[in-house]
Amino acid sequence: MAPICPPRGVYAPVLAFFHEDETLDLEALKAHVTRLAQGGVAGLVIQGSNGEAPHLLHSERQQVISTARATLKEQGKDDAVIIAGCGAPSTRETIQLCTEAKEAGADYALVLSPSYWPQAMGPPVIKKFFTDIANASPIPVLIYNFPGVTSGIDISSDTIAELAAANPNKIVGCKLTCGNLGKLHRVAHDKRIQSPFATFAGKSDFFLHGLVGGSNGVIAAAANFVPKVHVQLLNLYDEGKLAEAQELQTYLSEADWVLVGLGVAGLKAAIDRYFGYGGGRSRRPLGAVQASAFEGAKDAVLKHVVDLESSL
């Protein structure tokens, strides 16, 4: 049974892999989850922003979750947790996705704020949305704050803390991809939150900064690429080796900047180029990334962290 809130550590928001005809490539998914499990991640985020959730049918979402769960079990990682992206424009569908995620093997739900009508999504509406989800979901909920994909809606630290305080053991964490480290620090140390609560940094390029601020670890796209390097940074920080952790953070920040510029399909193309599986395909309208995108300085930056990954 999973703990009340996700354990501290590195989490990879798992990519969705597709064949040329855009059907799910479950063999590539299995290969990827195997490498992540062997890389020491504490858990997986399925159908996060990098998992192309908006491009998947409900049945496909469940198929991906159940395949990831089975692969973790095959790797002897029964203790690794699965956080499933369950955000949808309506409260009703979000609750349905939470229920389906639990049925497929997820331990927690990661939920974006609704944003189709952003002008109507003021703080009272957002608070009621998350309260309704928390009360109806069969699994605990993490708030996902990512203004870049929610029409600019940016949930405040006060709203997050108030929701956590009012819904103990139901709202159990947050992922802050907004990049606001002040917000992360405030939430991580808010005395109104008395029940277990996990505050996660949402990108590799402020992983170390988040740890200093009190984060529970990181949920980061680049952890798909070099999970061992992320785990090593966490270990260095915990051992008090700050200078070494800073050096590793520099390499991760540089690599993350390259990968962000290449997009979701580019991250998959990078995994195919440097680790030999998956391909660089996304479902339309997202396109594919060609090998030429990795020429020159970008290749040097990524190759450096791949070499580090291979050394660990």
| Catalytic residue positions, numbered | 175
How does DSSP classify residue 235?
A: H
Beta carbons within 10 angstroms of residue 92's beta carbon:
11
How far apart are the C-alpha atoms of 200 and 83, rounded to whole Å? 12
**Distance, CA of 223 to CA of 231 (rounded, Å):** 9
Can you read off the two tokens belonging to residue 107?
Answer: 């331990």
The answer to whether the peptide bond before residue 285 is cis (omega within 30 degrees of 0) is yes
Q: Residue 26: which H helix or E strand, with range? A: helix 26-38
Distance CA 177, CA 168 (A): 23
Beta partners for residue 10, in sequence order: 218
Report the greatest alpha carbon distance in the chain.
52
CA–CA distance, 133 with 131 (Å, rounded to integer): 5
102, two tokens: 């639990």
Instruction: Let me know the angle formed at the C-alpha of 37 by 35 and 39, rounded to the nearest 5 degrees.
Output: 70
**Which two structure tokens, joined as six digits, stand for 105?**
């093997």
